[in-house]
Amino acid sequence: MDQVVQKPAEIPGYTLAITAESLYLLNLLAIPGLAFLILLWLFFKYENSSPLLGACHLRQTFSASIWAGVLLLLVNGVIFAVGGYQTPYTWVIAVLYFTICHTTLVLLGLLGLAKAIAGQSFHYPLIGPTC
Amino acid sequence: MLYSSQAVAKPYFIAAIALFVGQILFGLIIGLQYVVGDFLFPILPFNVARMVHTHLLIVWLLLGFMGAAYFIVPEEADKELHSPKLAILLFWVFLIMVVLTLLGYLLVSYATLANLTGNRFWPTMGREYLEQPTISKLVLLIVAIGFVYNIGMTIFQGRKTVINLVLLTGLIGLAVLFLFAFYNPDNVVLGKYYRWWTIHLWFECVWLLIMAALLAFVLMKITGVARELIDKWLYVITAAVLMTGILGTGHHYYWIGTPEYWQWWGSIFSAIEPIPFFVLTVFAFTMVNIRCCEHPNKAATLWALGTAVVAFLGAGVLGFLQALAPINYYTHGTQITSAHAHLAFFGAYAMVVLTMISYAMPMLRGRAAANSHRSQVLEKWSFWLMTVSMTFIALLITTAGTLQVYWQRFVAEPLPFMAVQEKLVVFYWMREVAGLIFLIGLVVYVISFFVGGEDKGETSAGVN
Amino acid sequence: MNNIFTNAMARNTIYGSVLVILLFFVLTFGTVRTLPERVHHENITPQVVLGKAVWEQNHCVGCHTLLGEGSYYAPELGNVYQRIKHQTNETHAGPFIKAWIEIMPTDAPMRRQMPNFNLSKTELNALLAFLKWFSEINAANWPPNIEG
Ligand code: HEM
Ligand code: HEM
Ligand SMILES: [Fe+2]
Lowest mean pLDDT among A43-57, B21-35, B131-145, C56-70: A43-57
User: Does the beta-carbon distance from C1 to A15 stay under 8 Å?
Assistant: yes
Q: How far apart are CA C108 and CA C106, in angstroms?
A: 5
Best residue among B203, B263, B331, B408 to mutate for probing ligand 1's pocket (most ligand atoms within 8 Å of CB) is B203
Res A2 pLDDT > 60:
no
Whether the complex's predicted ipTM surpasses the cut of 0.90: yes
Residue type, B322: Q
Structure confidence by residue, pLDDT tens digits, B132-157? 999 999 999 999 999 999 999 999 99
| CA pseudo-torsion sign B39, B44, B46, B52 | negative
* Model pLDDT for residues A19-42, shown as the tens digit of each residue: 999 999 999 999 999 999 999 999
Q: Which residues surround ligand 3, an ion (CB under 5 A)?
A: B 200, 204
Condensed to tens digits (0 to 9), the pLDDT of residues C34-81 reads 999 999 999 999 999 999 999 999 999 999 999 999 999 999 999 999
Q: Where does the pLDDT of residue B290 fall: very low under 50, low under 70, confident under 90, or very high at 90 and above?
A: very high
Say whether C2 and A7 touch across the interface (CB within 8 A). Answer: yes
| Cα–Cα dist C96/B388, whole Å | 46
Domain boundaries, chain B: 1-160
% of residues, chain B, pLDDT over 90: 95
Window from A81-85, A111-115, B25-29, B224-228 with minimum mean pLDDT: A81-85
Would you tell me the crossing angle of helices B162-178 and B46-77 to the nearest 10 degrees?
Answer: 150
B343 CA distance to ligand 1 middle (Å): 10
Predicted local distance difference test score (pLDDT) of residue A3: 45
Number of A–C residue contacts, CB under 8 Å? 6
B460: pLDDT confidence band, cut at 50, 70 and 90? very low
**Rounded to the nearest 5 degrees, what angle is found at the Cα of B23, between the Cα atoms of B17 and B29?**
145
Judge whether B292 and A1 are in contact, CB under 8 Å: yes
Check residue B368 and give its pLDDT: 84
Query: Nearest CA to CA, how far is C82 from chain B (Å)?
Result: 14
Predicted local confidence at residue B458, as pLDDT: 56
Q: Residue B196: pLDDT band by 50, 70, 90 thresholds?
A: very high
Mean pLDDT score, B287-310: 95
Q: What is the pTM of this model?
A: 0.96
Question: Helix, strand, or coil here: B132?
Answer: coil
pLDDT for res A88: 84
Computed over its alpha carbons, how large is the radius of gyration of chain A?
17
Q: Which residues of A touch C5 (CB under 8 A)?
A: none
C68 lines ligand 2 (CB under 6 A): no
**What average pLDDT does the structure give for chain B?**
95
B327 to chain C: nearest residue by CA? Answer: C144
Share of chain B above pLDDT 70, in %: 98
pLDDT (mean) for C91-120: 95
User: Which of B285, B317, B407 lies nearest to residue A103, judging by beta carbons?
Assistant: B317
Tell whether the model's pLDDT for residue B322 goes beyond 60. yes
C-alpha separations of C15 from B232, B238, B408, C22, C28 in Å? 15, 10, 45, 12, 21
Q: Using CA atoms, how far apart are residues B452 and B313, in angstroms rounded to an integer?
A: 34
Smallest CA–CA distance, residue B291 to chain A, in Å, is 10
